[in-house]
Amino acid sequence: MAIAAQTPDILGERQSGQDVRTQNVVACQAVANIVKSSLGPVGLDKMLVDDIGDVTITNDGATILKMLEVEHPAAKVLVELAELQDREVGDGTTSVVIVAAELLKRANDLVKNKIHPTSIISGYRLAMREACKYVDEKLSAKVEKLGKDSLVNCAKTSMSSKLIASDSDFFANLVVDAVQAVKTTTARGEIKYPIKGINILKAHGKSAKDSYLLNGYALNTGRAAQGMPTRVAPARIACLDFNLQKTKMQMGVQVLVSDPRELEKIRQREADITKERIEKLLKAGANVILTTKGIDDMALKYFVEAGAIAVRRVRKEDLRHVAKATGATAVSTFADMEGEETFDQSFLGYADEVVEERISDDDVILVKGTKTTSAVSVILRGANDFMLDEMERSLHDALCIVKRTLESNVVVAGGGAVEAALSVFLENLATTLGSREQLAIAEFAEALLIIPKVLAVNAAKDATELVAKLRAYHHTAQTKANKQHLSSMGLDLSKGTVRNNLEAGVIEPAMSKVKIIQFATEAAITILRIDDMIKLIKDERENEE
């Protein structure tokens, strides 16, 4: 075996140099081409069917890529990129993938023209820094000037490419109200908008316009028994994470009985343990009990007698949110340090009232007037599951965008305005440099134009002409001192013209654009660095030995 280890032949395929690069770029282009047609206000949807036949209809970039089974390692980088954008900003997932793929393609062309990848990488990095600086200094507008309308407009811009675009006025206001309802101030005095506190419930029936905002956190389950009250106020809430059923012995614990008459006592004791637990809960003052596990009929009887609401099989996630909003502590066991079972009052959360309401055909439990953070729920109505799922994804994006706008207070014009401005700016910058990076920066500038191009193509407009007009405006804005207002010129895709998008209300948070440029560049650089790929094959001989 010692000799075999020294031989240079590797068990597997090895590709290096240009082959690998071309292969990676082709794989990334393929991924980008899938999401390309879903960009923009007239983007089309994708229908994804998984291996068991579940159908998802969506045009949210992150969702599409998550559902795809991507084999190629370089293409996986793009999928992770979309997820990162989704986590950080919440919207712009499609754009970031398209930009990254375009940057890669152009970098690959440069490498073919005998420019070293290292020069391209440093050029891209420089272009990225300059671009982000330029967005912050020149292109962004403060939200204070624009007022509440600007938040609604941000939400509308985010929804424009989604299924609910036709009702975007209605939903944008709904989203802005929801985000402003969960406003909290941290101990340090920062104002935060935890959109996790907005629960989205989907209910069949009626039309999308019948969706509404509920003040309170809604749980998608009803009371555990009919005899319980439908309303408890003020509510003291216990959040549990264990079974309230007749206590069975744990696995592996044996009870040896010599006298059959003792059996009944054992059964009785098992029932009493649960009874004692419930009495401890009620003695502490709890009148609303939420548990992630089950509650059996015997236990329900005690709750009904005490006039408390008990809810079983609550989702873990919901339990955490309720606990956070009401100041409760989620309890997974009653055992304390001494081995006794106790339930302290401090574990309870407080809310003004807990009510059960009927929404369409389902019962929901609403937790209203919570103690620490205010929680709201959006009840979505729609014709079928696909519609509701896609509405939820669209609202998630819009909620994230409004949150980012409120927290950063800076917006930029949408509709390809930023990309066109950056393209003109970077091109001028490239001509001032006398180093190798010049070509890379010029290509970076060209690559950014992919966004307005794709927007126009998806809208069935003449992309070449529109992009040329757009660039002319931005060139004027950057060269003439008194024409600065032209820097927010973007595309109007319904009419196929160029207009001032800040005034037209097509705006996005500046943070979203900056992150798109940063993430796309980083991903492109990561893939561009690869010049050798070794696929190892399992050695059959070892197994035989």
Is the pLDDT assigned to residue 375 strictly greater than 60? yes
Which pLDDT score is estimated for 7? 46
> 60, 86, 91, 389: which is the annotated catalytic residue?
60
Span(s) in the chain for CATH 3.50.7.10:
217-373
Q: Is 40 left (phi over 0), alpha (psi -120 to 50) or beta?
A: left
pTM: 0.81
Q: What CATH number is given for 217-373 in this structure? A: 3.50.7.10
Is the pLDDT assigned to residue 1 strictly greater than 50? no
**Is 526 a residue of the active site?**
no
Tell how far CA 258 is from the center of its chain.
60
**Is 45 a residue of the active site?**
no
**Is 479 a residue of the active site?**
no
Span(s) in the chain for CATH 1.10.560.10:
10-142+413-535
> 45, 91, 389, 397: which is the annotated catalytic residue?
397
For all residues of the chain together, what is the average pLDDT?
83
* Cα–Cα distance for residue pair 416/461, rounded to 1 Å: 14
What pLDDT, in 10s, does the model give residues 259-292?
877 788 877 877 777 788 788 888 888 888 888 8
Cβ atoms of 459 and 481 closer than 8 Å = no
Which pLDDT score is estimated for 3? 43
**Is 94 a residue of the active site?**
yes
Q: Considering only the top CATH level, what class is 10-142+413-535?
A: mainly alpha
* Cα–Cα distance for residue pair 459/395, rounded to 1 Å: 23
Beta strands in 372-509, from DSSP E residues, in sequence order: 376-382, 410-413, 489-492, 497-500, 507-509
Nearest C-alpha neighbor of 518 from the set 454, 420, 422: 422
> 56, 58, 63, 94: which is the annotated catalytic residue?
94
> 63, 93, 370, 405: which is the annotated catalytic residue?
93
Q: Percentage of the chain with pLDDT > 90?
A: 10
Is the pLDDT assigned to residue 521 strictly greater than 90? yes
